[in-house]
Chains A and B, each alone.
Chain A
């Protein structure tokens, strides 16, 4: 057997089996999630640095009701997404579509609650670089982190609607819903860190 044959054989084996037996789309989504994890972690670490190094850090949150409701909605949307993926995997197309659109609906409610909270804080005098309670850095940090997360939720809702419609039309398959599900769960996972760091550690006392 020549060197060329050996090389060809090696390539064929590599090309024939995807790395870790993951589909290309799924692997791409995992790579995106790993990269995005670093993005959010960078933001949260920078936020933690600022909070730790700033004396008059504001504690503007008087109630946990809104953030608790938002958390409940986002975690529940992860469950409905799981149900949608399971329904799609078992071939129940209408069931899958119903769960995916329920997930998108919960995402919209989450975004609306988020915007309502932003408007309330803006109404109290908080901007990117100024607030009545303490250092102006708080506004920049708060709007940056929650805004980045809200952008992810909004993008996820749009993707859920588009992929759901195309799945219903036969252009996308159950695997595509599963890949989108990974993204949606990631958005939920990030919120688990945003809530304690940005909200709960800044409750008014």
Chain B
């Protein structure tokens, strides 16, 4: 009996390459943490790196790349929509930090 892993994905060499890539990206996050930049820039840079790491893990470690494209798109669109709607309250966080008396 074979599983979808054996049938479709790229082999142990690919696993090792993705593993090294994720480790390098994680190291980049640690380097960013010591850069002399403001908090917002730091957050954005780290988030971009984390998204690339997560993308690699999803596509290759979790074999989403080898599943049917229809599944990838269906699950992806729904999840991204939910994640984006969660960002709805951010503006209020800025209102609090910029609008309260001690922020002046």
A:151-205 near B, CB below 8 Å: 173-175, 178, 181-182, 185-186, 188-189, 192-193, 195-197, 200-201, 203
Residue of A nearest to B96 (CB): A53
Say whether A201 contacts B16, CB under 8 Å.
Answer: no
A52 to B39, CA, bound (A): 10
Q: Which residues of B contact A175 (CB under 8 A)?
A: 3
A188 to B96, CA, bound (A): 33
A:16-71 near B, CB below 8 Å: 19-22, 30, 34, 37-38, 41-42, 45, 48-50, 52-55, 64, 68, 71
Question: Size of chain B's interface in residues, with CB distance under 8 A?
Answer: 52
Q: Indicate if A94 sits at the interface (CB-CB under 8 A).
A: no
Residues of B within 8 A of A (CB): 1-6, 12, 15-16, 19, 22-23, 26, 29-30, 32-34, 39, 42-43, 46-47, 49-50, 53-54, 57-58, 61-62, 67-68, 70-71, 74-75, 78-79, 82-83, 86-87, 89-90, 92-94, 96-97, 102-103
Min distance, Cβ B61 to any Cβ of chain A, angstroms:
4
Summarize B's interface: helix, strand, loop or mixed: helix
Q: List 15 A-B contacts (CB under 8 A).
A: A20-B67, A34-B75, A48-B90, A49-B90, A52-B90, A72-B26, A75-B23, A173-B1, A185-B61, A189-B53, A196-B33, A196-B50, A200-B29, A201-B39, A201-B43
Q: Which of A19, A20, A72, A90 has the most CB of B within 10 A?
A: A20
Say whether A192 contacts B53, CB under 8 Å.
Answer: yes
A21 to B72, CA, bound (A): 12
Q: Which of B70, B75, B89 has the most CB of A within 10 A?
A: B75
Q: Which residues of B contact A115 (CB under 8 A)?
A: none
A:79-121 near B, CB below 8 Å: 79, 82-83, 85-86, 88-90
Q: Which residues of A contact B94 (CB under 8 A)?
A: 52-53
Q: Which residues of B contact A82 (CB under 8 A)?
A: 12, 15, 61
Residue of B nearest to A91 (CB): B1
Residue of A nearest to B26 (CB): A71
Say whether B83 contacts A37, CB under 8 Å.
Answer: yes
Residues of A within 8 A of B (CB): 19-22, 30, 34, 37-38, 41-42, 45, 48-50, 52-55, 64, 68, 71-72, 75-76, 78-79, 82-83, 85-86, 88-90, 173-175, 178, 181-182, 185-186, 188-189, 192-193, 195-197, 200-201, 203
Would A64 and B90 be within 8 Å (CB), given that A72-B23, A78-B19 are in contact? no
